[in-house]
């Protein structure tokens, strides 16, 4: 897994972004390359003068489940390498760690929040849960000034489908609007908690500016999202792209993906995040409109 770090310098801060060429990282900056689990590489990137780190590099859920060794190498060993490089600085830099709803699982309450027990049902969720605990422990010892943000499923992601179990949630909107067919492997009544790229990027940046003490005893935080059924997502596609776009969805059930997605929480309780100034999207139509405005022209070029 490439670390793909980006180093951003301003008049006040030097910020490193692991996964800087990935979907979220690209939207916060520019480009470099290396192995996220190679401690020498990470230590070189997170060098003296680093004020803050966005740790976004990860193997996605489906791939982490299919390749156990790779998932733990990138998602656990890589996170430890980043934390230890930060610790070695001796300056407790601010660290924003991208966690996931996959840390929850099994039988869940109607809404989940910061006080919901972490019961991951996948290797990816387990790796993210361990990462959160490490961020909290390193923060407790003043090795870093960390914050671990549990991200809702991000929709609509531009680009091509990946091996994440949730990739269909973007594909079923992205591909039809770009003139291509898309497969939806889950039932229309499946409910998901989503957030737009605009909202997630704003949340990552906002988290960096919050004083560590404002998080209280836990540096883990569930970011706001909105709940929507897959059928409602398809209806939003129809409203935005018409019948031709809607007809490009192919409903092909996949029990394995359905099981993974169904293990995720469908609704979020995020009063703590909202009190800290994090916002949420208004709904799926706003999210689809944002994709059309921000990414659809380049998406059409990509698949042309």
Task: Report pLDDT for 45.
Answer: 86
Same domain, 50 and 73: yes
Q: Is residue 274 part of a domain?
A: no
Task: Report pLDDT for 27.
Answer: 47
Radius of gyration of the chain (CA): 19
pLDDT tens digits in sequence order for the chain, 304 residues long: 445 555 555 545 677 877 655 555 444 443 336 567 789 888 888 999 999 999 998 888 888 999 999 999 999 999 999 999 999 999 999 999 999 999 998 888 889 999 999 999 999 999 999 999 999 999 999 999 999 999 999 999 999 888 888 999 999 999 999 999 999 999 999 999 999 999 999 999 999 999 999 999 999 999 999 999 999 999 999 999 999 999 999 999 999 999 988 888 899 999 999 999 999 999 999 999 999 999 999 999 988 7
Same domain, 124 and 208: yes
204-225 core/surface letters (b: 16 or more CB in 10 A; e: else): bebbbebebeebeeebbbbbbb
Same domain, 29 and 143: yes
Q: Is residue 271 part of a domain?
A: no
Question: Has 138 been annotated as catalytic?
Answer: no
Same domain, 59 and 22: yes
Same domain, 54 and 185: no
Domain hosting 43: range is 6-151+196-224
77: domain CATH number? 3.40.50.720
Q: Is residue 236 part of a domain?
A: yes
Same domain, 114 and 65: yes
234: domain CATH number? 3.90.25.10
Same domain, 33 and 147: yes
Same domain, 18 and 72: yes
SS3 222: strand
Same domain, 208 and 259: no
Same domain, 172 and 116: no
Task: Report pLDDT for 1.
Answer: 44
Same domain, 115 and 175: no
Q: Is residue 101 part of a domain?
A: yes
The active-site residue out of 72, 104, 124, 138 is 124
Q: Is residue 130 part of a domain?
A: yes
Q: How far is CA 207 from CA 87, 150, 169, 203, 221, in A?
A: 20, 12, 26, 6, 10
Same domain, 133 and 219: yes
Number of domains observed in the structure of the chain: 2
Task: Report pLDDT for 24.
Answer: 53
């Amino acid at each position: 897994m490439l670390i793909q770090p980006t180093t951003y310098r301003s008049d006040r801060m030097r910020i490193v972004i692991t996964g800087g060429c990935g979907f979220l990282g690209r939207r916060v900056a520019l480009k470099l390359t290396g192995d996220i689990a190679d401690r020498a590489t990470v230590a070189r990137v997170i060098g003296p003068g680093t004020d803050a780190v966005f740790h976004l590099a990860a193997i996605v859920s489906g791939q982490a489940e299919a390749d156990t060794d790779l998932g733990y190498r990138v998602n656990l060993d890589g996170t430890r390498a980043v934390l230890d490089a930060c610790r070695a600085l001796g300056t407790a830099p601010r660290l924003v760690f991208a966690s996931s709803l996959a840390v929850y699982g099994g039988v869940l309450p109607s809404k989940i929040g910061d006080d919901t027990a972490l019961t991951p049902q996948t290797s990816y969720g387990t790796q993210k849960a361990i990462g959160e605990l490490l961020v909290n422990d390193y923060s407790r010892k003043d090795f870093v000034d960390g914050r671990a943000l549990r991200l809702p499923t991000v929709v609509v992601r531009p680009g091509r489908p990946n091996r994440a179990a949730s990739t269909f949630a973007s594909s079923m909107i992205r591909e039809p609007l770009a003139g291509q067919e898309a497969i939806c492997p889950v039932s229309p009544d499946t409910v998901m908690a989503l957030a737009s790229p605009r909202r997630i990027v704003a949340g990552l940046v906002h988290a960096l500016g919050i004083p560590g003490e404002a998080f209280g005893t836990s540096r883990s935080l569930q970011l706001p999202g909105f709940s929507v059924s897959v059928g409602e997502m398809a209806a939003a596609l129809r409203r935005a792209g018409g019948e031709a776009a809607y007809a490009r969805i192919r409903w092909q059930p996949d029990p394995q993906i359905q099981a993974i997605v169904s293990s995720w929480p469908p609704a979020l309780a995020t009063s703590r995040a909202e009190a800290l100034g994090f916002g949420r999207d208004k709904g799926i139509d706003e999210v689809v409109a944002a994709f059309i405005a921000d990414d659809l022209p380049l998406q059409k070029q990509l698949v042309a």
